[in-house]
Structure 1
Amino acid sequence: MVEHRMIDVNGIQLHIAEQGSGPLVVLLHGFPESWHSWHHQFGPLADAGFRVVAPDQRGYGRSDHPDDVDAYTLLHLVGDVVALIHALGEEKAFVVGHDWGAPVAWHTALLRPDMVLGVAGLSVPPPFRGTQPPLAAMDKLFDGRFYWNYFNRPGVADAEFGRDVRTTLRKFFYAASGDAAPTGEVMQPLVDPGQGWLATLPDPDVLPAWLTEDDLDALTESFSHGFTGALNWYRNLDRNWELTAAWDNATITRPALYVYGDRDLVPAFPGTPDLIGKLPHLMPSLWRDPIKLTGCGHWTQQERPDEVNTALIEFLKANS
């Protein structure tokens, strides 16, 4: 059974969900999600002999939402994972992340390899630092219409997404899923700043089989405090680029696993398909070639829980 509690980490409180015993596995959600995005993983991973812990990361759900935008840098987020592992009484853990949780997981392995037994990323591949700040790069490529740039307009996306939280989440989850791209064509996530993002997203009459009304209930409740904390992660993209300069060209040395869907918008970002193709050569620590899930969209562990669980359990057992 999944149990819940609050835990003190770096001067804030994080809500965590946990189940099982054995080597620690920390599961890190993305945007716009919560610990609940891993609900298909708790039972199988615990049954396989692992202690599974999924926090609401800072700015999300029942965890604290610091007011300062600067409190959401990648170094703060990695620091939360490090402090969480210690607060749970452990010295080492497997770290698994999806979407924004993947960069946090990858950088935890990069910055604190002494604490990471292995690292897995879903959707977002391992980081290789670009030559210019990411917001400027995307602004130039897409004339300011890339969603990162839209999210960096203070208060704008916060207000749009907060007007009807359930509708916002329903549209987000459907639009980025494999169900919304039946032909396999994946579009870049561009936003007309004058129109907003939600107006262009489809709103399904019937939810996909993997997304239930109960799932939407849990998600909607987790954003009862609004979206600002979650959006503040994006508002540190350029600062993260500056803060990680010391690790330029550094590679992850811990055993690593990467899983993604062939209908996911993130692996289709500019330059990312080429990066994924080169990963086996760029990362000697990659446990096996990237695992591509046919017909799967962005919500990897929710759209394809059985395949993700099988891959994770094999990876965890092989590196325990």
Structure 2
Amino acid sequence: MVDVNGVRLHIAEQGDGPLVVLLHGFPESWHSWHRQFGPLADAGFRVVAPDQRGYGRSDHPDEVDAYSIFHLVGDVVGLVRALGEEKAFVVGHDWGAPVAWHTALLRPDMVLGVAGLSVPPPFRGTQPPLATMDKRFGGRFYWNYFNRPGVADTEFGRDVRTTLRKFFYSASGSAPRTGGVEQPLVSPGQGWLDTMTDPEVLPEWFTEDDLDALTESFSGGFTGALNWYRNLDRNWELTAPWHGAVVSRPALYIYGDRDLVPAFPGTPELIEKLPDLMPSLWRKPLELAGCGHWTQQERPQEVNAALIDFLRAHS
């Protein structure tokens, strides 16, 4: 347990060498990186993965505005300092990726290199994101659903294990697809879980033990994690001074071709242009064929190899 930025964070740690901070996404925990700890530590790095604020055994502030991007970046900065380091590599998946990208954007002096999985580098739009998605999808986009106070919290909390089992299977590359990747929409009168398949058998990469660990981490509910989404428009307002700014630190981007996030409106075009938009990008974005949303869990060998190459190149 580490005290940083006004909250207490639970961390897992292994290895010695340059610090690598691994940031999980939604709905996950530090355990999402358990297949990265050994290989990265064996490669000569000090690996630390926190339960981010609102998750697992870390603190869950009650106030919605305690989950802004400034708070989340502040937690990373505070964690690096609390671990006795001045600089670190920062790696994030899903929601952890925007935190990693913004840490590199706001505090480049502390970042040796940054890697994002699933979510590409931040290029701030001209309109607030919630309003944009509300208009495009008539209020059915899952961000808008998550912003209805108490609604998703209640739905997901009814049966935590079933919620997580559905999430992880339905968003993975293991789930069957009738066509391309569909947008994550919630129809009126339905919950998000109503659209998801509950598998009889879990994929090989996501075991019952993994599900046990994840279920335990959400024993306190989903509100803290959902509060991250409830700051999307606030984050857009707060980051106005960085509009048009580009991450300057060495960067790596990895995504699956069956992931729903890289298929969000405008994102495929952004990914295609990334090598031109970001001179700091190390090699071109790495696309993993047949991989869904849970990048480092579905494809640990490819992700670990890419991360180790990147970390060694910039240590």
2:107 to 109, 112, 120: 112
The reply on whether 1:236 has 2:231 as its aligned counterpart is: yes
Which secondary structure does the structure 2 equivalent of 1:102 belong to?
A: helix
Deviations 1:36-66 (A, max 9, x none): 0000000000000000000000000000000
CA distance in 1, matches of 2:58, 2:144: 26
Tell me if structure 2 keeps the 8 A contact 1:184–1:262: no
The reply on whether 1:312 has 2:307 as its aligned counterpart is: yes
CA distance in 2, matches of 1:290, 1:305: 17
CA distance in 2, matches of 1:12, 1:119: 24
4+ long deviations beyond 3 Å: 181-184
CA distance in 1, matches of 2:210, 2:99: 24
Give the Å deviation of 1:195.
1.1
CA distance in 2, matches of 1:298, 1:248: 27
Give the Å deviation of 1:181.
3.7
The reply on whether 1:246 has 2:244 as its aligned counterpart is: no
Which secondary structure does the structure 1 equivalent of 2:10 belong to?
A: strand
- AA aligned to 1:229 is G
Could you say which residue in structure 2 is the equivalent of 1:90?
Answer: 85
Where structure 1 has 5 or more consecutive residues not aligned to the other structure, the ranges are 1-5
Give the Å deviation of 1:238.
0.1
Tell me if structure 2 keeps the 8 A contact 1:94–1:119: yes
Could you say which residue in structure 2 is the equivalent of 1:191?
Answer: 186
The reply on whether 1:214 has 2:209 as its aligned counterpart is: yes
2:61 to 40, 58, 66: 66
Could you say which residue in structure 2 is the equivalent of 1:160?
Answer: 155
Give the Å deviation of 1:182.
4.8
1:298 to 263, 280, 293: 293
Could you say which residue in structure 2 is the equivalent of 1:265?
Answer: 260
Deviations 1:121-144 (A, max 9, x none): 000000000010000000011000
CA distance in 2, matches of 1:49, 1:32: 29
CA distance in 2, matches of 1:99, 1:193: 26
Could you say which residue in structure 2 is the equivalent of 1:35?
Answer: 30
Could you say which residue in structure 2 is the equivalent of 1:80?
Answer: 75
Could you say which residue in structure 2 is the equivalent of 1:3?
Answer: none
- AA aligned to 1:158 is D
Give the Å deviation of 1:11.
1.3
Tell me if structure 2 keeps the 8 A contact 1:181–1:263: no
CA distance in 1, matches of 2:177, 2:153: 30
Aligned length: 315
Which secondary structure does the structure 2 equivalent of 1:180 belong to?
A: coil
Which secondary structure does the structure 2 equivalent of 1:40 belong to?
A: helix
The reply on whether 1:17 has 2:12 as its aligned counterpart is: yes
The reply on whether 1:46 has 2:60 as its aligned counterpart is: no
Answer with 198-207 or 159-168: which moved more: 198-207
Where structure 2 has 5 or more consecutive residues not aligned to the other structure, the ranges are none
CA distance in 2, matches of 1:133, 1:255: 28
Which secondary structure does the structure 1 equivalent of 2:254 belong to?
A: strand
The alignment-based identity, stated in percent, is 84
The reply on whether 1:170 has 2:169 as its aligned counterpart is: no
Which secondary structure does the structure 2 equivalent of 1:121 belong to?
A: strand
Tell me if structure 2 keeps the 8 A contact 1:262–1:294: yes
- AA aligned to 1:104 is V
Give the Å deviation of 1:194.
1.4
